[in-house]
Chains A and B, each alone.
Chain A
Amino acid sequence: MKASYYPGCALHGTALEYDESAKAVSRALDVELHELPDWSCCGASSAHATDETLAFDLASRNLAIARAQGMDLVVPCAACYSRLKSAESKLDGDQPAASSKTRVRDLLEFFFTSGLVDVIAERNTRPLAGLKLACYYGCLLVRPPKMTGARHHEYPEEMDKLMELLGAQVVPWSYKTDCCGGSLVLTKTNIVLELTRRLLDQAKKAGAEAIVVACPLCQSNLDSRQEEIARKTGEHYQLPIFYFTELVGVALSLQDARKWFKRHFVNPSGLLASKGLL
């Protein structure tokens, strides 16, 4: 199976382990991901917050390259996915799918639509037994549902299903799609600390030992700010924040996993070792 792959800026920087694990898992599942040639930034929040035309132009350049390649465009970053999907719906107007066979898909969706979940189930050599996880979807993977096509935008379940398939125990909680503050982290840092604190609190309260995400901004905000929250509130969470691809990698017994986890602020190796998973 083949698909075009749009890493986006974060996956070549702050979310390196998302890129590494997404590629390693795809390789292990015999999927060829072809990085989009000469891809450029999707524009992110900064473009759509300041300039409508620029936001569309930046995103649609990548879409045009993807359409010339003729394969689905797989996007791991929820924020890039949102911008590329927005350009796609503007280009297609009322006739979705009619104008091109290339569809923009987030990586989690791709796992399901391409039947990869079944392959994962077959090759799951190290079931994540005993691991209690809260699946956190955040905003842009599901909203606005008119654009993302999410069936259950208030309480999505795809990531939960995938984690259960890997043998983990997922906890029900009401904060799956609450915002972490996203790109406000460098400007309105206190707002992000307040929102991430609530998410960490609620995940812990629900009995989770770790949170699973599909977005570099969610991961970074939840993972890298725990120490700062502890300094301010005295609350020490020590909750590992996984990209879902990393846990698929663990279940497939991929050797690179330790390398990914070294890039985390809260290193998940201890938790995984305590369950005999690393």
Chain B
Amino acid sequence: MTDVRMSGINTEACFQCQKCSAGCPVALHMDYKPHQVMQMLALGMHDRLLACRTIWVCASCYTCSTRCPNDIDVAGVMDRLRQTALRDGVAPAEKDVPLFHRAFLDSIRAYGRVHELSMIARYKMATHRYFDDMKLGLRMFTKGKLKLLPSRIVDRSRIKAMFSRDVQSKERV
């Protein structure tokens, strides 16, 4: 698991106190609890980790990282696992979450900022969740909270370069 190892996060310091799992607000929805993820890393169960539900359900609230008595950035580990899973093309156990991320990042790549209306449309097309939150969206629109047109930054070429440079840096790893 190069990403986790390269991040410098010392997962081997875990002594299984389970404080991370006890405080995790979404642990009930995970297939492996955060402390189990730490143990699975130690045991080298990488394939199972990259395909698990846990990494996509994690809300990145940092309660685990904050409370760990051994200062392990557990939320940071979740990030690295998600990143590795995507790069290695592992089929995600929660497929809508990475599709949302893609729609979100596509919006940044295009405009430099997120345009909510087109981002949500793109996400709905990808997931076929067309009718979710329709009423809510309409009310947001009438309240002026969803803009019809995107706001574009001037230096979009810089943003595009970040996205393409990133592909290169990945290839180097």
A residues within 8 Å of B by Cβ? 9, 12-16, 38-41, 43-54, 57-58, 61, 139-140, 143-145, 153, 177-179, 181-184, 186-189, 191, 195, 224, 228, 262-263, 265
Which of B83, B86, B120, B132 meets A189, CB within 8 Å? B132
Bound-state CA distance A189–B132 (Å) is 10
Bound-state CA distance A205–B65 (Å) is 29
Q: A179-B59, A186-B100 are known contacts. Are A153 and B112 too (CB-CB below 8 A)?
A: no
A40 in contact with B145 (CB, 8 Å): no
Q: A143-B61, A263-B144 are known contacts. Are A50 and B166 too (CB-CB below 8 A)?
A: no
Q: Which residues of A contact B123 (CB under 8 A)?
A: 186
Query: In this complex, which of A13, A38, A139 has the most chain B Cβ atoms within 10 angstroms of its Cβ?
Result: A13
A186 in contact with B108 (CB, 8 Å): no
Which of A52, A54, A188 meets B162, CB within 8 Å? A54
Assess whether B159 is interfacial by the CB under 8 Å rule.
yes
Q: Which 9 A-B pairs have the closest CB atoms?
A: A179-B61, A143-B62, A46-B104, A46-B101, A9-B114, A139-B61, A40-B112, A57-B162, A179-B25
Count of chain A to chain B residue pairs whose CB atoms are closer than 8 Å in the complex: 152
Of the A-B pairs whose beta carbons lie under 8 Å apart in the complex, a sample of 28, sorted by A's number, is A13-B145, A14-B145, A14-B146, A38-B154, A44-B104, A44-B114, A46-B100, A46-B101, A46-B104, A48-B79, A49-B83, A50-B82, A53-B170, A61-B158, A139-B63, A143-B61, A178-B25, A179-B25, A179-B59, A179-B61, A182-B60, A183-B59, A186-B120, A186-B133, A187-B99, A224-B139, A224-B140, A263-B144
Residue of B with least CB distance to A153: B66
Residue of B with least CB distance to A195: B25
Q: Which residues of B contact A188 (CB under 8 A)?
A: 29, 57, 94, 96-97
Bound-state CA distance A54–B145 (Å) is 27
Q: Which residues of B contact A153 (CB under 8 A)?
A: 66
